[in-house]
């Protein structure tokens, strides 16, 4: 039997992805792809050639695979929206609408603007939480080191001195003794609790509970409303009626509770209820958005008012994020300073008493 030699180059080029698992397209990938495809339609380039060009220039594997799959579908005679089977639902529905209305080029330009804003806003959120996360990790390291190493070394010395320990020291020594004495059971219990919580949060009930809890946060709710208003504007501009536009825009909400309210509103609009009134029945929809849409319905300028509402809500969300960032940094710094001050007091106060005795 001949022996096949696997060269290093062949090994590096092997597809070692896990079967059934495919990395999702990021907002950055979607923004880049939509912008490039808008240029393809503006230049009147044949669709198959344009898709091949975008795929060859793609820098990420998920994006390249998605565009190549769409190109293969187009060559088989399928629609472009059907070819992007792994893309987000909102993206596919917008393409289907654009294919019916003949506005693919304009729709790709709108989607590029939308995903670029989403990407930059996501970057701002990550940068806003980067410093608090770093400080939280530092705080945890300080607490663990103090409880497991510093305090046990001082505890014997304090006990031998016969000095009455102050309250901060007694608290820290008690915590240290408990943690060091039951370290492995505590670690196992915390690990099991975290694993159980993670599994529950992936379940239907856990997702619904978490999404409902997140909607209580004003900034998060404002962000969802801004995203929905932008998607609604694009759907209406593509020629969708109000009910179908709400259904399409509901797919941008990464929140099952919010999306369920929007689909209930769409069902009411199908029954003849005005759009603004149907959305006002959803407690998580911003009152400003519903009032502006009501004005748009009365004046016959629903697309214009939805666009204005989207811009206003997006500006409010960005301003809220900047304000939160300014408040979080000093608060986290103060918390770290408080923890360090407590540990220093717990260590230094007995030392002062020992010095007085000596």
pLDDT band at 3 (very low <50, low <70, confident <90, very high): very low
CA dist 9 to 3, 12, 13, 61, Å?
18, 5, 6, 18
Evaluate whether 265 touches 279 at the Cβ level (below 8 Å): yes
The pair of structure tokens assigned to 345 is 């007091």
* C-alpha span between 145 and 325 (Å, rounded): 29
Q: Which of 247, 249, 238, 227 is nearest to 108 (CA)?
A: 238
Q: What would the pLDDT profile of 189-199 be if each residue is shown by its tens digit?
A: 999 999 999 99
Contact call for residues 353 and 163 (beta carbons, < 8 A): yes
Angle (CA) 16 22 24, round 5°: 135
Question: Six-digit token pair at 248?
Answer: 């399409």
CB within 8 Å of 128: residues ≥ 6 apart: 321, 324, 325, 328
> How does residue 12 score in pLDDT terms, banded at 50, 70 and 90?
very low
Report CA torsion sign: 45, 30, 260, 221.
negative
Q: Which residues contact 231 (CB under 8 A, 6 or more apart)?
A: 90, 114, 248, 249, 251, 252
Could you report the per-residue pLDDT of 95-148, keeping only the tens digit for each?
Answer: 888 888 888 888 999 899 889 988 888 888 888 788 788 888 888 888 888 777
The stretches of 104-253 forming alpha helices (DSSP H) are: 104-145, 151-161, 167-181, 183-202, 204-214, 218-237, 242-249
The Cβ of residue 6 has, within 10 Å, a number of other Cβ atoms equal to: 8
236-283 residue pLDDT tens? 888 888 899 898 888 888 889 999 999 999 999 999 999 999 999 888
Domain 114-358 bears CATH identifier 2.60.40.350: no
Question: Does the predicted model carry a pTM greater than 0.95?
Answer: no
Q: Where in the chain is the domain with CATH 1.20.81.30?
A: 114-358
319 closest CA partner among 214, 215, 217, 219 = 219
DSSP state of 148: I
Q: Give the span between the Cα atoms of 221 and 219, in whole angstroms.
A: 5
Token look-up 């070394």 returns: 153
DSSP character string of 298-322: HHT-HHHHHHHHHHHHHHHHHHHHH
Answer yes or no: is pLDDT of 21 > 90: no
């Amino acid at each position: 039997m001949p022996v096949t030699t696997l060269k290093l180059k062949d090994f590096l080029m092997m597809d070692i992805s896990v079967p059934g698992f495919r990395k999702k397209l990021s907002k950055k990938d979607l923004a880049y792809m939509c912008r490039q495809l808008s240029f393809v339609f503006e230049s009147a380039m044949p669709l198959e050639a344009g898709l091949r060009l975008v795929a060859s220039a793609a820098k990420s594997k998920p994006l390249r695979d998605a565009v190549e799959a769409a190109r293969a579908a187009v060559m088989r005679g399928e629609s472009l929206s059907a070819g992007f089977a792994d893309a987000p639902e909102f993206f596919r529905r917008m393409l289907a609408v654009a294919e019916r209305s003949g506005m693919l080029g304009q729709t790709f330009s709108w989607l590029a603007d939308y995903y670029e804003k989403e990407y930059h806003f996501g970057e701002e959120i990550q940068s806003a939480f980067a410093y608090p996360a770093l400080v939280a990790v530092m705080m945890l390291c300080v607490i663990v080191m103090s409880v497991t190493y510093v305090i046990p070394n001082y505890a014997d010395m304090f006990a031998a001195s016969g000095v009455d320990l102050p309250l901060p020291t007694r608290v820290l020594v008690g915590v240290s003794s408990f943690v060091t004495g039951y370290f492995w059971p505590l670690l196992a219990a915390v690990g099991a609790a975290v694993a159980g919580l993670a599994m529950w949060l992936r379940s239907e009930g856990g997702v619904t509970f978490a999404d409902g809890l997140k909607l209580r946060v004003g900034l998060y709710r404002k962000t969802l409303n801004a995203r929905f208003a932008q998607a609604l504007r694009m759907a209406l501009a593509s020629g969708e009626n109000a009910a179908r536009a709400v259904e399409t825009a509901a797919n941008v909400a990464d929140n099952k509770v919010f999306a369920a309210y929007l689909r209930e509103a769409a069902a009411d609009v199908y029954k003849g209820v005005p759009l603004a009134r149907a959305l006002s029945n959803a407690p998580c929809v911003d009152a400003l958005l519903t009032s502006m849409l009501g004005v748009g319905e009365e004046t016959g300028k629903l697309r214009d008012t939805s666009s204005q509402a989207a811009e206003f809500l997006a500006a409010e969300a960005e301003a809220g994020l900047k304000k939160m960032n300014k408040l979080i940094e000093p608060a986290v710094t103060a918390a770290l300073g408080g923890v360090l001050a407590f540990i220093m007091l717990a260590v230094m106060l007995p030392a002062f008493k020992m010095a007085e005795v000596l």
